[in-house]
Structure formats: C-alpha cells, structure tokens
Structure 1
Amino acid sequence: MNDLHNETSPYLLQHANNPVHWKAWNQKSLDFAKENDKLIIVSVGYSACHWCHVMEHETFEDSEAAAVMNQNFVSIKVDREERPDIDAVYMKAVQIMTGRGGWPMNVVCLPDGRPVWGGTYFRKGEWMDTLQQLQQLYRSNPEKMIDYAEKLHHGINSISLVHKQEDAEQFDSSTLANLVEKWKKSFDWEFGGYSRAPKFMMPSNYSFLLRYAYQKKDNQLLEFVNLTLTKMAYGGLFDTIDGGFSRYSVDMKWHVPHFEKMLYDNGQLVSLYSDAYKLTKNPLYKEVIEKTLTFISKELTNRDGGFYSALDADSLTVDNHLEEGAFYVWTKEELKAILKEDFELFSIIFNINEFGFWEEGNYVLIQTESLEEIASQYKKDSSELHRKKHEWENLLYTEREKRKKPRLDDKCLTSWNALMLKGFVDAYKALGNKDYLNKALQNASFITENLWAPEGNLLHSHNDGKNTINAYLEDYCFVIDAFISLYEATLDEKWLHHSKQLADYCFDHFYDTTTDFFSFTSDIDAELITKHYELEDNVIPASNSVMANNLYKLAIYFDNPYYESTAQKMLGHILPNIDYPSAFSNWLHAFLNFSDENRELAVCGEQALANILILQKDYLPNIVFSGNDKPSELPFLKSRFEEGKNLYYVCQNKTCDLPSENLELTLQSLKF
C-alpha cells in the first residue's frame, strides 16, 4: 500500500498514486524493514525537479517496475527540502560511490539504513535489473554486501568528521588576496560567472566578491561582479516578463534555464542586487529587485505572509503534455502575432535569432546589450525604447497568463522564508519602499506565530495548516540573520532579543564542543547513520558559516565574548584549509568581519531611525548598525542616548571615537 497520501509535502503527494508501495521516512517504516529483513530503497527528490518527474513517469508509475520494488524492498520516498538531513547523508554516499550527485537520488540500503548502492537518474530497465541483482546478492551472500556497507559507512563517517586545527598556520589578508587571485582564473570575462556550464548563480560568492572588491578598491573585480549581475539579468535565467530567477542556466551565457523558480535563490539574489544597487545605482538592478519582489508577492506568498517554496520546471503544453519550460518559451510566429509592427525591434533587443534560439522552434528571451547601446546603434531614443520594452513585457505577460502555469510547491520552509524575509528587508534599505518592510514584518510574524514552538524550538515546515518536522540548523541561522537585518531596518530591539534566544537554543541543542561546530540536526532528533556538519557554502551558504557571521554581530550587540570566541574558533578551523574559495565565500565574509576595516556604528537620538535608514542606503558592508531613539538597556547602546541630540558613535573593537553630530561627515568617514 502507498502511504504517501497521508503526507503534506507536495512532492510526496505527487507520488501518492504510484503503484509503488511508498512509505514516508519515519521510525515505523525503518522498524518494518528491520523486522522483515528487507533492503530499503531511499528515493530522494523535490517537487520542482524535472528529472524526478521523468523517472517517476518512466519507472515509478510503471506496474512492472513497481512489482519488483514491492516484492523485495521497503521503498521510502523523501522530499529533500523537508528532510535536508537525510539528503545530505545519503548524498555523501552517492558521491563516494559515483563521484557525482544530483536529483533524483536513489540509494539501496541494508535494513539498518547503511547504503550499499546508489546513483541519480535510472531508466526503468537498468533500475529493475540492478534491484533484482542486489536482492539476489543479499539473499545468497549477505556477508559481502554487509562488508561493503561497513567500508562505505566508514568512508561516509570520514568525510563527515570535522578536523580541528589546533596549530594551524595563520590565515591573514595576504593569504586571502592570494586566494582571490587564484579564484579570478576561473572567471568568465565574456558572460560573467564561471567558465563552465551549467552555471549556477551562487549569490554567496558574489556577495563576498562585491564586498572584497569594494573594501580593497579592486576595480577589476568590481567590474567582473557587475558583468555577472548584468548578464544574469539579461539572460533567460531571469524572467524579464514577470520577474524571478530560475535555478541555473544549462549553458555558458545564462540563456536557457533549468526552468524551476526556487524561493531560496530569489531571496538571496534580491539581497545581492540590493547591495549592488547601493554601490552602483544601476537602474537595471533596481528593475530586477522590483520585478522579483512583485513576482514573489503575487505567486509565492500565502494569505498569512508565508512564502511558498517553488514553481515547477515543467508545465502543460496546449496538448496537455507536461514539458520543461513550456510556460516560458516563445515561437517566432507567436511573437509576430503579439507584437505586430514592433516585432523587428523586439527581435533586436531580445535576440529572436540564432543567438536566442533554444530548440524545436522555441526562443528564450535574452539581451546582449543595454537599451542605451541599442538606441545609439540604431539611432533610436533610449527613453522610447524603455517605454516600448515595458509595453512589450505587459503584452507578453497578458498572453502568457492564458497558458497553464507550472505546478506550485506550497509548503513554507522556515529557512527559505527567512532568506526571502531578508531579501525584502535589504530591498527596503536600498530602495526605501515601505511595502517591502511591511511584507518582511508580516513574514516575521508568520514565522514567530506558526513556526516557533512554545518549547523554544523552531519547526522546519508549514503546509495545509500543519507545522511539522523539528527545525535544522539552517532554519535557526537564517532566521537569526533575517531578524538581525530586520532590527537594523526598524531599531525594534525585540528582533535582536529573538535572535539571541534562538542562538542560545542552538548552543544548547546543536553545538558540539568536541568539534567547535554546530551539527545540522538537534540533539532531540533521532540519529541518522552519521552526524552531519554543514561546512561548505554552496547555492545556499553553509549553516555554520551563517552562524559564525551571526555570532559576530550578536557578540557586539550583547557584549558577549563567548559568542565572539566561538565564531573565531570556527573560523580558525576552516580558514587555513581553504583551497577553492568559491566553496567557502561566506566564511571569507566572516573573516572580513574580524578585520581592521570593520566598524560598529551607534546612531542615537530622536531621529535615529530616519538617520540610520539614510546611512543604510549606501553600501557599507563593513559596518554593524545599531541605534535608539530613547534610552536603551542593550549593552552596545547603554548610556549613549542624550536628550535633544542626534549622535553618531563610530567604534571598533570595543573602542569608540567621540560622538559626532554631523550625519554627512559620519557617512564620509565610513566609506572607503
């Protein structure tokens, strides 16, 4: 019997009508495998995953394949977004066995959960043959399979270990400079990003590189970051019609995306483009921010202010055939019919030519030049081109809305909601749109009211009115980060106190004094086959690197040396072993926090909030902001407020200059 109809995950529910007797991951399912001495199939995917849908259609919906699985295996379906802990552990096994990873991920395990075989996508025939061979081997020679499982388990444990660096060599600014120079060799100076395909956006990488370029006055590096952000915004990766980024580009030029739109990408990218806009005032970046947040508000927000997880890569064609990108692409004939006499000009701007062609008569819109460059080249008025572009996008939007939309993953994940919350706050700081702050506050209330249990722990997922799954470190670290950012934008100290409360909970239930890092799962959760520490930054920064950055700020606000020393110990173990900096960019961000270039700023006085928002319109990544419009007991602000004065305290390492009463001079002193 298929048990997935009892679940709330949209991905698991997609499989609820398969002939496979799927079970969810829970103690009952695991106990059943042990009691009946059955091998376990762990199949991991997510709702927006194109190849997950392909394997479902080809294999899991097939009665012949299902019969093989049902007869001899306990088959467990896992939503990797609901259970990132399970995904991380078994992904390590697949990477050891095959040298690569991805989704769908399929692993066969002994009845005790230790993996013996695995990979990603399999065709029906290969899948059935392999399962039958594994079952036969387990019955005829179980010792061989158990021996392999033990060796593989040892390998998983080895790569899961955190090696403390007691006497590591010193990591300093010159070491960082050398790493950045090495990093530059992988840059694509034509289209931005890295010189490889597929291309992922990697917001944490460009957030760090933007900061480093600014603080070190590295104009070449700054040029590269702006090239990357511009080309990403021009490419089909960004939906210029309705806003929002897809997960990655399958090619070198950011042209053809893997069409799913994920909340976590868009939250981080709004923050990144907001920072870049502060520094450059590039109107393209403002357009990206505004379109993306309009998309999030319209398509990925529930009535309580929670943010949904994703839109699927696949959507239905006019023939009701599920096809990747069907909702987004255009034929030349469609565009001619919609745009009429403007088609030729539209074709120049959006490359309805060989450069913009995808496949099977379909085009994905991509710009290669700015409207100003095109206006100059074709003797057009640039303001008229901007008006035309806006008009065309509205026409295409109206037409596209008649199509069948991609499927929605409507679960709300705490970590991803926090990333998007921070995106709205950062956009508010950059653009001053009060609606963005209101949406951030609404989402913060959604998290505190629905996903923060009375016992003090967060919950990971909210869907269909149910709050499920004890939270992971990623949930705590991103909520703390978002609440600190919300404090900076409102000066409401309750957000700092919430952050401190959550950080202290992490010390109680996640911190491992033997490694000096936080484990990914809480000590109140059932253990998996190995302990997982998330250390490498990827498309989402590692939860430990985010915690290090959080603890740095909380140490300042609350004058807490333990927070500071913990962050420094974490950095001390990571930094000396960095070989490829792209996988540790958020750790490098934390390193810059502890540099001599960082400052703390207290803005005190009746106009504190208005003044601090003026300051935060500038790109000042090396400043920790704080302020009050009345006396405060917050340790960093205590005794700084003086009635009738607006004061600016610039501090470093617990030492402050005499306060200034001049906003402009204070701002100039903070800039590089």
Structure 2
Amino acid sequence: MLYDNAQLVSLYSHAYQLTKKPLYKHVVYQTLEFIEREMLDENGGFYSSLDADSEGEEGKFYVWEKNEIDRLLGDESEWFSELFTISKTGNWEHGKNVLHRKLSLERFAKKQKWSIDSLNEKLSSAFSILMSERDKRVRPGLDDKILTSWNALMLSGYADAYLAFGEKRFLDKALQNARFIKKHMVNDDFRLWRNHKNGKSNINAFLDDYSLSIEAFIKLYQASFDIEWLKLADGLAQYTIKHFYNPENELFFYTSDLDDPLIARKSELSDNVIPGSNSSLAKGLFWLSIYFDKPHYLGFAKNMLHNIFPSISRSAPYYSNWQMLALKFAFSPYEVAIVGKDAQQRLLEMNRSFLPNVCFLGGYKEDGLSLLENKLVKGRTMIYVCFNKSCQLPVEKVSEALKQLQEP
C-alpha cells in the first residue's frame, strides 16, 4: 500500500536524523527505489497499491527456493543464504524463503572478514541477478488509481527524506508530485478531487484529502522555501473551514457541505492506518497560524484538541496524532528564519539534527511573511532563532543557531 510506504519513509528519515544509524538510511533509500520502480505514474502521481498475491499465491512474486538461489548465484549463494537465512526447508510457507537477515551488514561483514564496501558490492551484484530473474515472473496486480490523500503522505515522505539526507532527487520527486496534485486534483477555488485514473479526476474529496494535503504542502515549503506551496496550503485550509466545519462540536465533518446529503454526516476523530483527518487538519492549522500570523487558525486547533481530550484519556493509543499536537501546545515551537543566497544549504545542515519542534522558513526574499520582514542582509546568509516571534541576534553558522535552540 502506498500509505504504508509513505509513512515508513517519514518515520525512518526522522529516526536517521535522531540516531544516524545506517540501517535507517538504507530502509529509506530502498523504499523510495521500490516506490519509483513500481508505483510512480509517468506524470508524477503515485498509484495506490500492489496485490499481495500473484497466480493465486500470496507473496509468490517475492519469495525464493534454495535451489533457485544456488542456481542463480553459484559460488556466491553460500554467504548470501547465510545472510538472508535461506534454507531448503524455507523460512516461509511451502519451502519458500523471504529474504530476511538477522545480522546487521556491519556484523556480517566483520564475521566474513570483509569490508562493508566489499559486502555492499557483492550484495548489489547478487540483487541485480535476482531482480532480473524475478522480472520474468507473473507480476502482482496493480491498483493504478491515484488518491489525493495517499499521494499527500508520499509527498511528505519525500520532503522528509530530502531534509534528512539532502538528496536533491528526493526534493525533485516531491516537487513533481506536488505539481501533479496542483494540476490534476486542485480546482481554481481550492476544491479538491479525491481520485485520478486514466487521465481523469473525479469524486469530491473528503477531509483526509484536504488535511493531509495541507500538511504535505507545509512540509514541502519547509523543504524548498517556495512560498507557492505555503499559499496553496492556506487556500486549502480556508476552503476546508468554509465547507467542512461543524460549529456544534468545533470539529470537522468528513464530507463537504457540497456533497449529496447523507443520513448521518459523520466526523473521523481517531487515527487508523493513516493519521485521522481531524487531527491532521488541526496540526496543519497550528503551523499555518505561525506562518501567516492568523490567530483564528490557532483557535480552531486549540478548540479541536480541547474537545477531543476526553477521548484521548480513554483510548490514548488511537489518538497519537492528537497527542503530538498537544505537545506543540505544551512546548511552543521555535521559529527559525534562514535568509540569504545559501539558505537552502543552511537548512539542510540544520536538519542533520532531529528538530521536530522548529518552524522553518526563509529563502532569499521576504515573501510577505511577517517573520521574514527586515531580515535580509545583502551578501550574507543569516539564521534567526525566534520564540513567540521574538528573535535572538542573527548568526551565520549553523552550530551557533543550534546552540541557541538548546538554550533555555
């Protein structure tokens, strides 16, 4: 499923920022390679899912028998089978094997008395051989509809990966997907379509399409400093308030007031396999209130959180996204403005650290954001660390800015 992979990319990108473990980086790179190979539309959208089965057998496309590995890899099969726990009896069903390792690559390389670079070269060669063979198999079915909400999660994933690893190709893919959404899923009045297939967009979008898109475009601004995406998020937020708001409980309906009336017009409050639409919207409004200095956005987010607290206290695991928002209110975020010709490079340097409670903004012009006013210094790139819109003295070195963030 696209939404699983998208969320895992964000998770492991953040985990890498926090720990610098090579395994987490490997997971992100391999996941994005899979997504681009299997689920990327030529126009920049992402397909929804691949079937778990092919030819009526679950996992058949992905599993291996020991004799296949021996035949394909020859003398290299012994160490490969040891690394990935491959046996004649199988580590999966019916004598089949899933490529699954118990040792880290570093530990296995040490055991074999190889360098890690040598092991990676051997793995690259082996995987290339296996991929060529696997491509001859009957492929799993592809669900090629493009959903706005799931694409928004993938867009956020690419932005998170770019910030964590500084790979420009990740930002390029994020921008490609954002342009697809803007062109094919966003109407002139900021109304969204939910679905795109065979060159046509249809079905009025639901709240998760709006809320996750708002978050994704905010994230893309934080990665690119292109005000276009922040303004798009703001336009979607205004449309959502106009057409989804329920004044009775100060939360938001799942369907628009422009949709055909239902017997019961419900709201989605808890998290499920993707973050709940109300909690995602509240987080988006929280961030937009900072960027555009709109207190009423903050008021919406605060009231939504207040009204959901009884549910959080009863069933906390199902409301984790709300609890993340609660942390934002408990520990107000810093605002970090990076302005000047090297703003993008300084942004990437700062994001080598895990900074979940920082509102980044900047670029090489003021862009109409109040936090950027009068902060440009000709010929220099300055970093302003602010709290509640009160800024410390600007610095030029990332190390100095990080030190300011650590000060009480």
Residue identity matched to 1:604: V
Return the letter of the residue paired with 2:278. Answer: N
SS at match of 2:94: coil
The answer for the alignment partner of 2:6 in structure 1 is 267
Deviation of 1:483 (Å): 0.8
After superposition, give the CA deviation of every residue in 1:38-80 in whole Å (9 maximum; x if it has no partner).
xxxxxxxxxxxxxxxxxxxxxxxxxxxxxxxxxxxxxxxxxxx
Question: Compared with structure 1, are the counterparts of its residues 518 and 355 closer, same or farther at alpha carbon in structure 2 (3 Å cutoff)?
Answer: farther
Distance 2:189 2:363 in 1: 31
CA distance in 1 between counterparts of 2:23 and 2:193 reads: 37
Paired residue for 1:540, among 255, 258, 274?
Answer: 274
- 2:364 equivalent in structure 1: 629
Given candidates 277, 289, 293, the residue that maps to 2:32 is 293
State how 1:196-207 maps to structure 2 within 5 Å: none
Give the direction of change, closer, same or farther, for the CA distance of 1:382–1:604 in structure 2 (3 Å limit). Answer: closer
Tell me if 1:451 matches 2:169.
no
Of 322, 328, 342 in structure 2, the residue corresponding to residue 607 of structure 1 is: 342
Write the mapping of 1:67-86 to structure 2, written as runs, cut at 5 A.
Answer: none
In structure 1, the residue corresponding to 2:330 is in which secondary structure?
Answer: coil
Give ranges in structure 1 of 5+ residues lacking alignment.
1-261, 317-321
- Letter of the structure 1 residue corresponding to residue 361 of structure 2: S
Matches within 5 A, 1:578-597: 578=312, 579-596=314-331
Describe the shift of the 1:342–1:501 C-alpha distance in structure 2 as closer, same or farther (beyond 3 A): same
Please name the residue that 1:562 is paired with.
296
Counterparts of 2:375 and 2:251, CA distance in 1:
35
If the length of structure 2 is used for normalisation, what is the TM-score?
0.94
Q: Deviations over 1:253-307 (max 9, x none)?
A: xxxxxxxxx1111111111111111222222222221121122112211111111
Q: 1:462 to 1:379 in 2, by over 3 A?
A: same
Residue 280 of structure 1 corresponds to 19
Measure, in 2, the Cα distance between the counterparts of 1:595 and 1:376: 46
Q: In structure 1, what is the equivalent of residue 208 of structure 2? A: 474
Partner of 2:220: 486
CA contact (8 A) 1:620 1:670 kept: no
Q: Name the SS for the 1:587 alignment partner.
A: helix
Please give the root-mean-square deviation of Cα atoms over the aligned residues, in Å: 1.9
Alignment match, 2:159: 425
Q: For 2:390 and 2:89, locate their aligned partners in 1 and report how far apart those are by CA, in whole Å.
A: 57
Q: Is the 8 A contact 2:164 2:348 kept in 1?
A: no
- Rounded to whole Å, the distance in 1 between the matches of 2:185 and 2:5 is 21
| Offset of residue 380 of structure 1 | 4.6
Match of 1:202 in 2: none
Distance 1:355 1:654 in 2: 64
TM-aligned CA distance change 1:355 to 1:519, over 3 Å: farther
1:370 aligns with one of 100, 104, 110: 104
Counterpart amino acid of 1:374?
F
Q: How many residues align?
A: 406
1:221-370 alignment to 2 at 5 Å?
Answer: 262-316=1-55, 322-353=56-87, 357-370=91-104
Q: Distance in 2 between matches of 1:665 and 1:352?
A: 50
Q: Could you tell me which residue of structure 1 aligns to residue 132 of structure 2?
A: 398
Moved over 6 A (4+): none
Larger Rg: 1
The match for 1:172 is: none
Q: Provide the TM-score with structure 1 as the length reference.
A: 0.58
Go from structure 1 to structure 2 and tell me whether the alpha carbon gap of 1:354 and 1:666 turns closer, same or farther (over 3 Å shift).
Answer: farther
C-alpha displacement of 1:471: 0.4
How do 1:82-97 residues align onto structure 2 when only pairs under 5 Å count?
none
- Take 2:138 and 2:145, find their aligned partners in 1: how far apart are those partners? 21
Structure 1: which amino acid aligns with 2:83?
A: I
Residues 669 and 333 of structure 1, relative CA distance in 2, 3 Å threshold: same
Query: Which residue type is aligned with residue 313 of structure 1?
Result: A
Supply the AA of the counterpart residue of 2:396. Answer: E
Equivalent residue number for residue 402 of structure 2: 667
Matching residue's letter, 2:342: Q
Over 3 Å counting, the alpha-carbon distance change for 1:513 and 1:597 in structure 2 is closer
Q: Is the 8 A contact 2:89 2:96 kept in 1?
A: no
| 1:371-399 per-position Cα deviation (integer Å, ceiling 9, x unaligned) | 22233445454443332222221111111
Which residue is equivalent to 1:652? 387
Cα 1:355–1:652 change in 2 (3 A) is farther
State the match for 2:123 in structure 1.
Answer: 389
How far apart, in 1, do the equivalents of 2:193 and 2:59 lie? 33
- Aligned partners of 1:617 and 1:539: how far apart in 2? 29
Name the SS of the counterpart of 1:337 in structure 2.
Answer: helix
Q: Is the 8 A contact 1:628 1:641 kept in 2?
A: no
Q: Which amino acid aligns with 1:344?
A: E
Cα separation, partners in 2 of 1:645 and 1:374, compared to 1, 3 Å:
closer
- How has the CA–CA distance of structure 1 residues 336 and 606 changed in structure 2, closer, same or farther, with 3 Å as cutoff? closer
Q: Deviation of residue 340 (structure 1)?
A: 1.9
Shift of 1:597: 5.7
User: Relative to structure 1, is the Cα distance of residues 388 and 644 closer, same or farther in structure 2, using a 3 angstrom cutoff?
Assistant: closer
Q: 1:582 deviation in Å?
A: 2.3
Structure number having the greater helix percentage? 2
- How far the C-alpha of 1:354 sits from its partner, in A, is 8.8
